[in-house]
Every structure is written in structure tokens, then in C-alpha cells.
Homo-oligomer: A and B are copies of this chain.
Amino acid sequence: MTAKVSAGQPEAPRDDRGAAAIAEWWRSSITDIAPDQIRIRGYPIQDLVGTITFPAMVWLMTRGELPSPQQARLLETVLVAGVDHGPLAPSLSIARMAATCGVGLNNAMASGVNVLGDVHGGAGEQCMELLGDIVRDPDFASDASRVAAAHVEAFRAANGRYLPGFGHRYHRTDPRSVRIGALLEEAIGQGIVTGDALKAARAVEAVLAGKGRAVPLNIDGITAVVLLELGFPAALGRGLFILSRSVGICAHAWEQMQEGGRIKGPVPKEFTYAYQGPALRSVPQAWTGGSTAGKPNDADQLPDQD
């Protein structure tokens, strides 16, 4: 691959091997910068500002091409819906606790974003993989129900009963899923997306409902469906969720900063934890040379502790 070094850097060393090697090392296809010129994926930034929406910019940056305005609006629904679910999710409570420890808003936000890992932030990504497998199954068109049942069974055999994207500990019917589902149906009707991923998700819901109480799509699930319909790869799904949830993380860290506490722990200070380790004991003679063995220092001071 030949690296094309951007023109226009007045102080750059003339074209020696060092500069070329560095340029190749840091190559990128996202933003092209020269003095007085910034282009995103080939579009002058000033042609985008005030013209495209923020969700369209998210799409352009991550995928390289602009979406249609209709596609961008569909992406916007999941970005709007995912911003927050209260202060007790670890990402949010961590950001709030961090905000009281004498660090910047950026550090508090990073602390929250950092824990949106495979388990906390990855349900949508895993759901995208499951549903994507179903849609790509050659028998999906002819027999979605059977294909969905087979993939659910295989998924559970490999990963346990919990199915990412379906059901919620707290909500029976997640109002976000219902609303986004309705908007997605509209978009399918208008031919903006195919509806295959939604069909796969409904087939999974039917499989689950057949086994007892309803386990409907939750917010991770409907988000996965929308992103699949829009052609996003599963692994990028987590990135989009992070961009959405970062708004909540920012808002909670900010709210906590307004309150002005110092060193907020997970519970009020009058609570404590349960120590469950060994009772009082003395340091072995190998370390003490025998001088204190058998006589732990705090035994006399606090005789009724143990």
C-alpha cells in the first residue's frame, strides 16, 4: 500500500523515509486535513455543518458514506432512546462516584464508558450477532420460525439460557421497544429498510412466548434490530450504544458535580460491609523472628471483638 501524504504541512521535513514511515503508520481514511481545509470522508466540513444531522455524522464517521435522511432518522431513534436508565447502572453510578473524587468531567465520563464491556454494554452486539445469523441462514426466507428456534437452541446450548436483547428484569413491556418498533414498521412500509431483522426478532419472540410468559424485545434488542436493518456490523453496535449512553453518563456526572459531595461511596456512610475472612491471627515466626508470634497487637485493646 502506498501512503499518500497529505499536502500542505509547511514545516514538514522534505520527503525522507522517516516522514513517509510515520505517515503510513498513522494512515486513516476518515478526515483529510490541510491548512484551512477539513474534509470528512471527502466532504468539506462546512458543507456538512448545518446540512446533515448529528446522527448522520455518526454514520458518516463510522461507515464512510452518508446515510439518506430517512436512514439517519431511524438511527436517531435508537440514539435518543438509549441515553439513560437511571443512576444505578454501574456505568452511571461509577461516573457519579468519580465526579466526587476530584477528577475532571472527562475522567468521570471515561470511568463510566470504561465499564460498558461485554456484559454491561455488549447485549446489543450479541443480539446483532444472533439475529444476523438467523437472517443469513439460507432457510430464513422459507421458514423463519424453524430457523429462529434452531438458532435460539444453539445459542442457549453455547451460552446459557439468557438471550441478549429479550426480556427485562424490570419492565414487562419496554416503552422504548414499542415506540421504536412502531417507527421501524413505518420505515419498512416506506421501503427504507427490508424488515428482515425485525422478522427474525419477531420469530425469536414467538419461540420464547411458546415456552411460557412473553419475553419481548428489550431496548438492546430493538436497537440491535434497527442497527442490523441499517447495515451496521455487530461489533460497531457497542460503539453506537456508547455514544448514546455517554449522554446519560455526562448528565449524571454533571448532576453529581452540582450537588457538591466529596468521595461518594456506593452507600451512605452509616452502612458497612460484611467481613467474611479469617478472624484475628498472629504473623508467623518466619517473619517476626518469634518476637510477636502468638500475640497479635490489637488483642488486648479490643478484647471483645472476636
Contact = CB atoms under 8 A, between A and B. Distances in A.
Closest 8 CB pairs of A and B: A18-B18, A102-B118, A102-B119, A29-B277, A42-B278, A266-B266, A102-B117, A110-B114
Interface residues of A, number: 161
Given A56-B287, A66-B284, A173-B36, A6 B266 contact: no
Given A33-B275, A122-B102, A85 B38 contact: yes
B90 A101 contact: yes
A175 B271 contact: no
Contacts of A242: 105-106, 109, 246, 250
Interface in A3-17: 3-9, 11-13, 16-17
A121 B97 contact: no
A275 to B, nearest CB: 4
15 contacts: A21-B271, A29-B276, A31-B275, A34-B302, A40-B84, A42-B280, A44-B297, A56-B287, A61-B251, A101-B118, A101-B120, A102-B120, A103-B106, A103-B115, A110-B113
A176 B49 contact: yes
A83 B272 contact: no
Contacts of A173: 36
A277 B94 contact: no
Oligomer: number of copies: 4
Q: In this complex, which of A263, A270, A274 has the most chain B Cβ atoms within 10 angstroms of its Cβ?
A: A274
A62 interface: yes
A284 B56 CA distance: 12
A159 interface: no
Contact of A81 (B45, B90, B296): B45
A150 interface: no
Contacts of A31: 84-87, 248, 275
